[in-house]
Structure 1
């Protein structure tokens, strides 16, 4: 059974809302606890290379870009966007992705799978996590 519901405009929203958000600058990890008690710990690098921005995702699955060289990226600011998302401002100056609660929850649930696919894609393209 899904915890998601269609909104009046046809988009999908998550029923999971964050109750706590914290960023550890030293480890460059964003930690979010949701109202169902689930906590996810996201490396800034993962959030940057999986940014929901058009710059990274393109305008469809076939246009998704592989973003290399972000091993040391950090987050400079976390800004609320309405009551449904946050904008993350990264220290490489990327700031166009709006991370909805649903996107972050799904990313947290699939983090290992997404990370392994990213590493495989880097290797396939001869790219590196290092700048």
Structure 2
């Protein structure tokens, strides 16, 4: 028996792994559809009681399973509880952050120079600098 590795991350499954799982679901559903067709043929040949009901169920399986299989195979996996919480938090933070234009922002420049003893002292303002 192949032992599965321990999951130590909250990262999503790889795209290849997701694709493989969707392929398995699709093939499984199409196999059930084929079994509905075979079962319908067997039922017609042995004529059990309530044959009409059984044939309707088999026909429903043959009609609706391909539709459902395509929808399920093309759907991405559902978000985990942690992913939903993280996206809700990100949306909340994005909505509450103030938006500033570059003209609105006041930039602070710290200008210091080293001294001979290794300390840093503010440099003298140059002509034209704001004080």
TM range (shorter): under 0.3
Structure with more of its chain in strand, by fraction:
1
- Higher share in helix: 2
